A and B are shown apart, each in its own frame.
Chain A
Amino acid sequence: FRTFPGMPTWRKTHLTYRIVNYTLDLPRDAVDSAIEKALKVWEEVTPLTFSRICEGEADIMITFAVRKHGDFFDFDGPGKVLAHAYPPGPGINGDAHFDDDEQWTKDTSGTNLFLVAAHELGHSLGLQHSDKPEALMYPVYNSSTDLARFRLSQDDVTGIQSLYGPPPASPDDPVKPTESARPQTPAKCDPTLSLDAVTTLRGEILFFKDRHFWRKSLRTLEPGFYLISSFWPSLPSGMDAAYEVTSRDIVFIFKGKQFWAIRGNEVQAGYPRGIHILGFPPSVKKIDAAIFDKQKKKTYFFVEDKYWRFDEKKQSMDPGFPRQIVEDFPGVGPKVDAVFEAFGFFYFFSGSSQLEFDPNAKKVTRILKSNSWFHC
């Protein structure tokens, strides 16, 4: 994402808008509803609120116009430029203009007013164009957007929250159960939080949960929170395990019978591959957790109550495995969700608990909550 030069923002959180005139392409209530819905897109991820006024000067003045319309940027007839808007500030700033030579529609048969309005209002709030094609703030109109499933991209959310912060949490808001199969956005300080996978990556720690991950640097207290797809579009959500081979600058990601390799933000060619090429028997359907031991150059794969040991130098499973987890990691298990290494300790995650394990002393040294790294 980008912001405008000088990062102009609104200095207040409650803004007014006015629909100055209407297109003839749509009924008035359809225009009202598209604008309301477009504002709500941004309202949901920021502390900003909006109210409509019907006369006088609003912060955001919305107009439909053709060709020359009183600013420095004339419209150009049907197609090409659909609309434009100005960054926050007084006067024309904050205003959004729509080219009425377009065929505005509620669906995507013409130019969808909601999509364009949501984009323009992003400018009105201070976002410049994004270079991410999946972002709402990408400059080119995408007529194949699925309106029923519309959602801001992580890039849009990160961008607008860099200007205004996230919406305030209300303790009175009950957590609404959802009937949707789509997982809820996980809350890092939820005491019942469990994790899918944890790994280091170039000195940072990544905590994966459903479609998201937290990225924690040891230099900062607060972790960043991102969509997995915003960094690695081809990786699956709900992954099973992840580990970093630091000496090769590679992180391996496991889900089901497949695994991927990533280097930084690039998924490596030739993946996904089947886990059985690593030497697992066909009975193994998924890996629960994995960790690379830098000292021994071995990777431990945890599956149910057993573990396998993989020699990264020989690229083969060590003989004599699997073994029971509890035999060599007393106090851990029987089953683990995730594991990673920091400061010479192994940190095992199981449900909402985390065990700090000293691999030299072969004992658990601390019991923690799974979110102990999140500065809750």
Chain B
Amino acid sequence: LPLNGAARDEEDSMDLVQHYLEDYYNLAKDAKQFAKRKDSSPVVKKIQEMQKFLGLKVTGKLDSDTLQVMRKPRCGVPDLGE
């Protein structure tokens, strides 16, 4: 069934974040269901790492400022090395 608007937006954001963290912050590809996990999850830590690197407020949460920066065009080289 088609998702309603709000649910679709949220799902799109989750996809964006997952791919963003995988592509630029070396998040393991099998880190699923990341949005529902506790603060200690590797995904939350990656979000915090990304927020710190991009000069955003470090919350570990996907606030609107964070999503806004992630939607901006950028260079494809990962931000952090292995």
Contacts and interface: CB of A to CB of B under 8 A. Distances in A.
Interface stretch (B6-14, B40-48, B57-65, B73-81): B73-81
Interface stretch (A27-35, A75-83, A154-162, A202-210): A75-83
Q: How large is the interface on B (under 10, 10 to 19, 20 to 34, 35 or more residues)?
A: 10 to 19
B69 interface: yes
Contact of B76 (A4, A5, A83, A128): A83
B73 A79 contact: yes
A133 interface: yes
B53 interface: yes
B50 to A, nearest CB: 10
B75 A139 contact: yes
A140 B72 contact: yes
Nearest to A4: B81
Contacts of B54: 131, 133, 139-140
Nearest to A97: B76
| Residue from the set A4, A116, A140 with the largest chain B CB neighbour count within 10 Å | A140
What is the interface of chain A mostly: helix, strand, loop, or mixed?
Answer: loop
A80 B19 CA distance: 11
A80 B77 contact: no
A5 B81 contact: yes
Contacts of A217: none
Contact of A141 (B72, B77, B82): B72
A119 B77 CA distance: 11
Nearest to A129: B79
Contacts of B81: 2, 4-5, 128
Given A128-B81, A131-B55, A84 B76 contact: yes
Nearest to A87: B77
B73 A141 contact: yes
A150 interface: no
A123 interface: yes
Contacts of A132: 55
A5 B82 contact: yes
A84 B77 contact: yes
A129 B55 contact: no
A81 B54 CA distance: 16
Contacts of B79: 128-129, 139
Contact of A131 (B24, B53, B77, B82): B53
A120 B75 contact: yes
B76 A140 contact: no
Interface string A107-146: 0000100001001100100001101110000011100000
A128 B77 contact: yes
B74 A140 contact: yes
Contacts of A2: 81
B55 A83 contact: no
A143 to B, nearest CB: 8
A120 B75 CA distance: 8
A332 interface: no
A92 to B, nearest CB: 13
Contact of B74 (A80, A85, A128): A80
A-B residue pairs, 10 tightest by C-beta: A84-B76, A81-B76, A5-B81, A141-B73, A129-B79, A140-B74, A131-B53, A139-B75, A139-B74, A140-B72
Interface of A: 2, 4-5, 73, 75, 79-85, 102, 111, 116, 119-120, 123, 128-129, 131-133, 139-141
Given A80-B73, A85-B75, A128-B77, 6 more contacts: A81-B74, A116-B75, A131-B52, A131-B53, A139-B75, A141-B74
